[in-house]
């Protein structure tokens, strides 16, 4: 089976969990005899292509004119969408400008017989021109599908940023389309959803032949909040990729216990609850250091709160970590905490457990559905979080038990198994389309 897959990032150039998941997924699909052509807005040439063929959308020359009128439809639909800072997944959000481009006016004035050729240079980032790139990505996706005619059986689009691209590719090819919901607008914004982003997500899922949700929690939101037919929404939990060699824990320069938060410093991830719990733990056990690794729109708020609580000498901010830096941080940690307010899945606890670190996660996370040997608390219960941290660092036998059992448990959550389920989703979509 051959898949044309649209994503927004691919390792080693990632902003968060989406790229990591896509990488593990494509490797797992390869082991299940599925060939993947992975399209990204911008490729850098250093991507691992042993298991996947990466297509750089910035290198694709689009052919415009009469035969691609539907492309300007996509541009028109997103012309005046303003994306608030908390709309964008997996990153440190920025303020986005309202999309308006001279290209729209030029395209509207051309005669039907005119043709034009153009390449778009995508930033591949979540910057000020995000919606412009989303719209143009859809145009390029149509061209990619046309160029690869007959070379793929199914289309797979990841998250709302690529939903228009998937729709455009399906219009050109007629192949069935699967969309992957890694995070919904409700996860990013709570009840204060941006209706325009919600509409993009809903339209993308309604137009899909199948929807893959990363957890039962996400599946319920998709069915109940977006009104998507339950029959076509399938849960496939994420997994974790194990390295090929064992890494030794780096030497520490301090003797204290280290408790780590690693993720975007945004409302969704619950960084403020981590800070409040840290203060409670330090009131009982002073020889602990708390590390917050990441960046985001709540950074200044968190820094100020740490200062007001008088724990700045026990609290460290590393900024955004990548690749080996993440693994090194895990190996330095005694406890990993993910107090997310709403987490569709959450790969980072699996990575921490893989490094032999006991983890504390919120019950409001999809990963809680697949883990038994993780301490689970409600994100808002700061006292319970503080007690869990205190217990794991104060009672070595307890910490060792969660670390040992957790490693055994996570060892069974492999991408090859998750990919086998994804392949079954593809096969169902293709069979239905052929019926």
pLDDT at 109: 38
Q: What is the pLDDT of residue 119?
A: 81
Q: Give the pLDDT of residue 97.
A: 31
In terms of phi and psi (left: phi > 0; alpha: psi -120 to 50; beta: otherwise), the region of 244 is alpha
List of residues 6+ apart from 102 with CB closer than 8 A: none
Fold match flag (2-239+415-434 vs 257-410)? yes
The pTM score is: 0.82
- For 127, which DSSP code? S
> Which CATH architecture describes the domain 2-239+415-434?
3-Layer(aba) Sandwich (3.40)
Domain spanning 257-410: CATH superfamily = Glycogen Phosphorylase B; (3.40.50.2000)
Sign of CA dihedral 200, 202, 206, 211: positive
**Mean of the pLDDT values across residues 109-126?**
60
- 3-class secondary structure per residue, 24-57: HHHHHHHHCCCEEEEEECCCCCCCCCCCCEEEEH
Q: Both tokens of residue 411?
A: 């060892």
How many distinct helices (H) and strands (E) make up the chain?
Answer: 15, 15
- Residues 254, 274, 310, 296, CA torsion sign: positive
pLDDT average, residue stretch 343-363? 94
Helix (H) or strand (E) holding 294: none
Residue 191 has pLDDT above 90, yes or no: no
First-to-last C-alpha distance (Å) of the chain: 18
289 beta partners: 258
Whether 26 has a pLDDT exceeding 80, the answer reads yes
Tell me: the pLDDT tens digits for 235-285?
999 998 866 555 666 666 678 999 999 998 998 899 999 999 999 999 999
Across residues 159-188, what is the average pLDDT? 93
Q: What is the mean pLDDT of the chain?
A: 85
Neighbours of 158 (CB within 10 A): 26
Average pLDDT estimate for 10-28? 88
What is the residue-wise DSSP string for 191-260? T---HHHHHHHHHHHHT-SEEEESSHHHHHHHHHHH---GGGEEE-----PPPSS--PPPPPS--SEEEE
Alpha-carbon gap, residue 228 to 66, rounded angstroms: 33
Q: From residue 49, give the alpha-carbon distance in Å to each of 11, 26, 54, 69, 391.
A: 10, 10, 7, 34, 44
Whether 350 and 24 have beta carbons less than 8 Å apart is answered as no
Hey, where are the domains in the chain? Answer: 2-239+415-434, 257-410
E-state strands within 226-358: 233-235, 257-262, 288-293, 315-319, 335-338
Using a 10 angstrom Cβ sphere, with 0-12 exposed, 13-18 middle and 19 or more buried, the burial of residue 134 is buried
Identify whether the C-beta of residue 307 lies closer than 8 Å to the C-beta of residue 345.
no
* pLDDT reading at 106 higher than 50: no
Identify the band that residue 127 occupies on the pLDDT scale cut at 50, 70 and 90: low
Give the pairing type, strands 257-262 and 288-293.
parallel
DSSP-derived 3-state class of residue 121: coil
Helix (H, G, I), strand (E, B), or coil: what is residue 129? coil
- Lowest model confidence (mean pLDDT) among 121-130, 185-194, 261-270: 121-130
pLDDT band for position 5 (50/70/90)? very high
């Amino acid at each position: 089976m051959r898949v044309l897959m649209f994503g927004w990032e691919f390792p080693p150039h990632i902003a968060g969990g989406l790229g990591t998941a896509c990488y593990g997924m494509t490797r797992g699909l390869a082991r299940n005899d599925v060939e993947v052509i992975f399209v990204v807005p911008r490729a850098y040439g250093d991507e691992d292509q042993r298991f996947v063929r990466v297509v750089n959308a910035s290198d694709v020359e689009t052919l415009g004119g009469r035969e691609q009128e539907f492309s300007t439809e996509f541009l028109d639909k997103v012309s005046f969408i303003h994306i608030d800072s908390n709309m964008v997944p997996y990153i440190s959000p920025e303020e986005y400008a309202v999309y308006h481009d001279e290209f729209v006016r030029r395209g509207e004035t051309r005669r039907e017989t005119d043709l034009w050729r153009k390449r778009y240079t995508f930033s591949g980032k979540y910057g000020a021109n995000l919606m412009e790139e989303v719209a143009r990505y859809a145009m390029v996706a149509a061209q990619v599908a046309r160029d690869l005619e007959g070379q793929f059986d199914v289309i797979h689009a990841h998250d709302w940023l690529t939903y228009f691209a998937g729709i455009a590719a399906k219009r050109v090819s007629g192949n069935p389309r699967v969309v992957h919901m890694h995070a919904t607008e409700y996860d990013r914004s709570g009840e204060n959803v941006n209706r325009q982003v919600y509409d993009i997500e809903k339209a993308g899922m309604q137009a899909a032949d199948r929807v893959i949700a990363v957890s039962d929690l996400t599946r319920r939101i998709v069915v109940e909040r977006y009104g998507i037919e339950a029959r076509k929404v399938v849960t496939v939990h994420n997994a974790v990729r194990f390295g090929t060699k064992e890494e030794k824990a780096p030497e520490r320069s301090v003797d204290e216990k280290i408790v780590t938060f690693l993720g975007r410093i945004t409302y969704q991830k619950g960084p403020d609850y981590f800070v409040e719990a840290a203060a409670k733990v330090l009131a009982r056990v002073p020889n602990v250091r708390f590390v917050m690794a990441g960046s985001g729109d709540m950074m200044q708020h968190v820094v100020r709160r740490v200062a007001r609580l008088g724990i700045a000498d026990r609290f460290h901010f590393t900024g955004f970590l990548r690749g080996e830096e993440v693994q090194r941080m895990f190996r330095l940690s005694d406890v990993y905490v993910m107090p997310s307010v709403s987490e569709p899945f959450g790969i980072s606890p699996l990575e921490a457990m893989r490094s032999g670190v006991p983890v504390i996660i919120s019950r409001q996370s999809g990963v809680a559905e697949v883990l038994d040997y993780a301490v689970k608390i409600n994100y808002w219960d700061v006292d319970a979080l503080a007690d869990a941290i205190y217990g794991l660092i104060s009672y070595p036998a307890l910490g060792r038990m969660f670390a040992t059992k957790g490693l055994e448990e996570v060892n069974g959550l492999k991408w090859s198994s998750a990919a086998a389920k994804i392949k079954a989703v593809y096969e169902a979509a293709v069979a239905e389309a052929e019926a």
